[in-house]
Copies of this chain bind each other. A is one copy, B any other.
Amino acid sequence: MKKSRSHKLKKLSKKIGMPPGSLVYIGNTEATVTNKPRISKMVYTADTLEECVLTEEDLANFIPDPSKKLWLNMHGVHDINLVKRMGEHFNLHPLVLEDILNTEQRPKVDEFDGYLFLETRHFYYDVETMSASSEQISMVLGENFLLTFQERSTGAFEPVRERLRASKAQIRALGVDYLAYALLDSVVDRYFHVLEGVSEASENLEQQILTRPSNSDLQNIHQLKHVSIELRRAVWPLREVLNVLIRNEKGLFKPATLPYLRDVYDHTISFIESLESIRDSLVGMMDIYMASMSQRVNLELRALTVVTMLFMPATLITGVFGMNFDYMPWLKHHDGFWWAMGLMFSIANIMLLIFWRRQWVNKSIFSADEHNK
Contact = CB atoms under 8 A, between A and B. Distances in A.
Interface of A: 4-6, 9-10, 12-13, 15-21, 93, 95, 105-106, 108, 110, 112, 159, 163, 169-171, 181-182, 185-186, 189-190, 192-193, 195-196, 199-200, 202-203, 210, 215, 218-219, 222, 225-226, 229, 233, 259-260, 262-263, 266, 269-270, 273-274, 277-278, 280-281, 284, 286-298, 300-305, 307-309, 311-316, 318-337, 340-341, 358-360, 369-370, 372-373
16 contacts: A4-B203, A6-B199, A18-B159, A20-B260, A93-B259, A105-B270, A106-B273, A286-B287, A300-B301, A300-B305, A301-B301, A301-B304, A307-B308, A322-B324, A324-B331, A358-B369
B203 A6 contact: yes
Residue with the highest number of chain B CB atoms closer than 10 Å, among A300, A327, A360 = A300
B20 A277 contact: no
Contacts of A259: 93, 95, 110, 112
Contacts of A319: 314-315, 318-319, 322
Nearest to A196: B9
A95 B290 contact: no
Contacts of A300: 298, 301-302, 305
Contacts of A323: 318, 321-322, 324, 337, 340
Nearest to A200: B6
B19 A182 contact: yes
A279 to B, nearest CB: 10
A158 to B, nearest CB: 8
A262 B110 CA distance: 9
Given A93-B259, A298-B296, A270 B106 contact: yes
A19 B246 CA distance: 20
Given A192-B12, A295-B215, A359-B370, A266 B106 contact: yes
Nearest to A188: B16
Contacts of A233: 273, 277
A16 B326 CA distance: 86
B293 A294 contact: yes
B305 A298 contact: no
Interface class of chain A by DSSP: helix
A233 B277 CA distance: 9
A314 B311 CA distance: 10
Contacts of A19: 163, 169-171, 182
Contacts of A281: 226
Give the 4 A-B residue pairs with the shortest CB-CB distance, closest first: A318-B319, A17-B159, A321-B323, A6-B199
A195 B95 contact: no
Residue with the highest number of chain B CB atoms closer than 10 Å, among A5, A181, A303, A323 = A323
A181 B19 CA distance: 11
A327 B334 contact: yes
Contacts of A105: 270
B336 A331 contact: no
Given A294-B297, A302-B300, A336 B326 contact: yes
Contacts of A278: 5
A229 to B, nearest CB: 5
Contacts of A333: 325-327
A68 B270 CA distance: 38
Given A95-B263, A196-B9, A360-B369, A304 B304 contact: yes
